[in-house]
Structure 1
Amino acid sequence: MTTTLEQLDTEGDLRAVVELPWRTIVWDDPVNLMTYVSYVFRSYFGYQRDEAERLMLLVHTEGRAIVAVGNREAMERHAQAMHGYGLQATVARDEP
């Protein structure tokens, strides 16, 4: 009986991990201008100027910024799009 309860708890923990959203992270690089990064955030993600500049400043000062959160496939598409613009981007699981 104990084994069954332990399996249920393990399955619940696994399900909680699987349901965590993913995030697209844009990283700082020595190549792209800050104005260009802001432009990419506005044109691709549709962010307003203030939000695009806030995210761009995070990339510049903190070295990275989370620019989108959602399901894995969508976040991978965003990262690929950022690569197409010449930006460094990765996908990671969102932290609980």
Structure 2
Amino acid sequence: MISAAGSTLTQAGTDLDLHRSVLHSRPYQVVVWNDPVNLMSYVAWVFRSYFGYSREKAHRLMLQVHREGRSVVAAGPREKAERDVTAMHGYGLQATLEEAE
């Protein structure tokens, strides 16, 4: 008789749990992209309103979007980053999700 501890089924379950753990602990970034539609003041207002950033931080991130074409505005677990991207879309901003390096 084979013990449960040595079974392939238990090993596969452990591997799956490890994979899920790594997937959920990996940080993701919310990237906001420049667009020709939204005013810079509006973009800064969105960052202050949604993320709760100070005027200075929101302004700095907005300028980065404007000058460099994109800015990482938040990072965290995948589920939260997905919610943030969806929220940015709700405000009319172009945003994507990417794995943090």
Alignment TM-score, normalising by the size of structure 2: 0.76
Give the aligned residue type for 1:73.
Answer: E
| 2:28 paired residue number | 22
Query: After TM superposition, which residue ranges in structure 1, 4 or more long, deviate above 3 angstroms?
Result: none
| 2:7 paired residue number | none
Offset of 1:61 from its aligned partner? Answer: 0.3
Aligned alpha-carbon RMSD (Å): 1.7
Offset of 1:33 from its aligned partner? Answer: 0.4
| 2:37 paired residue number | 31
Offset of 1:83 from its aligned partner? Answer: 0.3
Offset of 1:20 from its aligned partner? Answer: 2.4
Q: Which runs of 5+ in 1 are unaligned?
A: 1-10
Alignment TM-score, normalising by the size of structure 1: 0.80
Give the alignment partner of residue 83 of structure 1, picking from 67, 70, 89.
Answer: 89
Larger Rg: 2
SS at match of 1:29: coil
* Number of residue-to-residue matches in the alignment: 83
